[in-house]
């Protein structure tokens, strides 16, 4: 519900230089909860149950007296669509899974801007990004209370550069270009839920097969970003803003490698993704400004590789808010 960001800018009196900083959430900033599990997750768990049961049966010479919590989930069930559906329903009716996912990227940026003339300014900066992702699955059998089944954290820290140019050809038009370098993000996996009983064995089997082995490291870089914007002062009290952003995922040193060869190896990423938006500011009084804008975010993901654990959906964002000019030194904004 709340995505905090703090911005600061300082222009020493009489200087052509100014300094700026930003601390906040640059990516992610959300969570998902599936209280009854999710189709792909539940199917993968059901298949894992059959595999664990078959391994235990083979270890003890298929002794009928040796059972596991997953007995009856025969691996043969997964050789046909009908068998797979039957096994999935058997697992669903006996076991209950809930899935929680969370992702956010906190950034700390600092930079400086130089006014080359009354019309042209140049900016340079650097940004440190700390990325955190979590996947947690709770399980229960019958009316038992829920227990943590899978709990995986993935963390990475990376640094990128920022270069900007701002140009005002005439007094009513402002143009801006920004380039942000690739951010090399090397994640480390921390698996918290692997135990020694049958459920623990199943948990480890699933996390390993999905490429989330404890201690594993993998690359998932933040891509190059090119941004352009323009603001046109239509009247002294009304202006229009246009913005575009291009993500370049292919080439240019971007490294995306999870180290697995299954559906989770991120083959769904296309070469580019983009965002396009526009908005306006309207001065209602000397102290109050009303803003509204719209952004279309096209991540350009291939539909064939989208499911509830592996998705980059398109987004249509409508926002509005008010700025209150308290005095010459303080503005307070609220938006939704």
DSSP conformation letters of 122-152: EEEEEEEEEEEEEEEEEEEETTPPPEEEEEE
pTM of the model: 0.79
Residue 233 has pLDDT above 80, yes or no: yes
Question: pLDDT tens digits for 72-120?
Answer: 665 455 556 676 677 667 677 778 888 898 989 999 999 999 999 999 9
Return phi, psi of residue 293, to 5°: -155, 165
Question: And the tokens for 112?
Answer: 């400086």
Instruction: Report the C-alpha gap between 180 and 161 in whole angstroms.
Output: 6
Instruction: Report the C-alpha gap between 156 and 138 in whole angstroms.
Output: 25
Looking at the DSSP assignment, which residues form a beta bridge with residue 283? 289
Q: Is the Cα torsion angle 178, 297, 169, 173 positive or negative in sign?
A: negative
Question: And the tokens for 48?
Answer: 């894992």
Instruction: Report the C-alpha gap between 25 and 6 in whole angstroms.
Output: 10
Q: Return the H-helix or E-strand segment holding 205.
A: helix 198-209
Better-predicted residue by pLDDT, 250 or 231: 231
What is the CB neighbour count within 10 angstroms for residue 70?
Answer: 25
Looking at the DSSP assignment, which residues form a beta bridge with residue 335? 321
What is the CB neighbour count within 10 angstroms for residue 235?
Answer: 9
Confidence label for 1 from pLDDT (cuts 50, 70 and 90): low
Instruction: Report the C-alpha gap between 301 and 122 in whole angstroms.
Output: 34
Question: pLDDT tens digits for 43-74?
Answer: 778 777 777 777 777 777 777 667 777 766 65
Looking at the DSSP assignment, which residues form a beta bridge with residue 8? 21
Instruction: Report the C-alpha gap between 179 and 162 in whole angstroms.
Output: 6
Residue 137 has pLDDT above 80, yes or no: yes
The DSSP annotation for 29-63 comes to EEEEEETT--HHHHHHHHHHHHHHHHHHHHHTTT-
Contact by Cβ (8 Å): 301, 277: no
Mean pLDDT of 284-305: 87
Mean pLDDT of 233-258: 85
**In 213-287, which ranges are E strands?**
217-220, 224-235, 238-248, 256-257, 272-283
Mean pLDDT of 127-131: 96
Residue 292 CB-density burial (10 A; 0-12 exposed, 13-18 middle, 19+ buried): middle
Instruction: Report the C-alpha gap between 307 and 35 in whole angstroms.
Output: 17
Query: How far apart, in Å, are the Cα atoms of 189 and each of 25, 137, 142, 185, 210?
Result: 21, 16, 31, 13, 12
């Amino acid at each position: 519900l709340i995505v905090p960001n703090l911005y600061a800018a300082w222009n020493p009196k009489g200087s052509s230089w100014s300094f700026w900083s930003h601390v906040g959430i640059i990516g992610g900033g959300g969570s998902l909860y599936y209280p009854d599990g999710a189709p792909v997750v539940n199917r993968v768990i059901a298949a894992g149950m059959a595999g664990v049961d078959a391994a235990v049966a083979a270890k003890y010479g298929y002794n009928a007296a040796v059972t596991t919590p997953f007995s009856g989930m025969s691996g043969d069930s997964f050789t046909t669509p009908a068998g797979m559906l039957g096994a999935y329903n058997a697992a669903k009716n006996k076991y209950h899974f809930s899935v929680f996912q969370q992702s956010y990227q906190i950034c700390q940026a600092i930079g400086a801007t130089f006014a080359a003339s009354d019309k042209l300014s140049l900016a340079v900066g650097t940004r440190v990004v700390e990325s955190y992702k979590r996947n947690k699955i709770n399980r229960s059998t019958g009316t038992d209370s829920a227990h943590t089944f899978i709990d995986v954290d993935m963390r990475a820290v990376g640094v990128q550069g920022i270069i900007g140019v701002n140009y005002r050809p005439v007094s009513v038009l402002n143009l801006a270009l920004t380039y942000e370098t690739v951010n090399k993000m090397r994640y480390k996996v921390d698996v918290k839920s692997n135990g020694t009983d049958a459920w623990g064995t199943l948990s480890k089997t699933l996390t390993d097969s999905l490429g989330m082995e404890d201690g594993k490291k993998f690359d998932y870089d933040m891509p190059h970003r090119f941004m352009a914007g323009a603001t046109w002062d239509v009247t002294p009290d009304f202006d229009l803003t246009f913005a575009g952003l291009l993500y370049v995922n292919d080439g240019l040193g971007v490294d995306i490698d999870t180290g697995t060869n299954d559906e989770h190896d991120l083959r769904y990423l296309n070469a580019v993704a983009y965002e396009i938006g526009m908005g306006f500011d309207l001065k209602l009084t000397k102290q109050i400004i009303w803003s509204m804008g719209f952004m279309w975010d096209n991540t350009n993901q291939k539909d064939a590789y989208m499911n509830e654990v592996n998705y980059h959906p398109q987004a249509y964002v409508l926002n509005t808010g008010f700025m209150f000019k308290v005095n010459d030194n303080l503005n307070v904004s609220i938006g939704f």
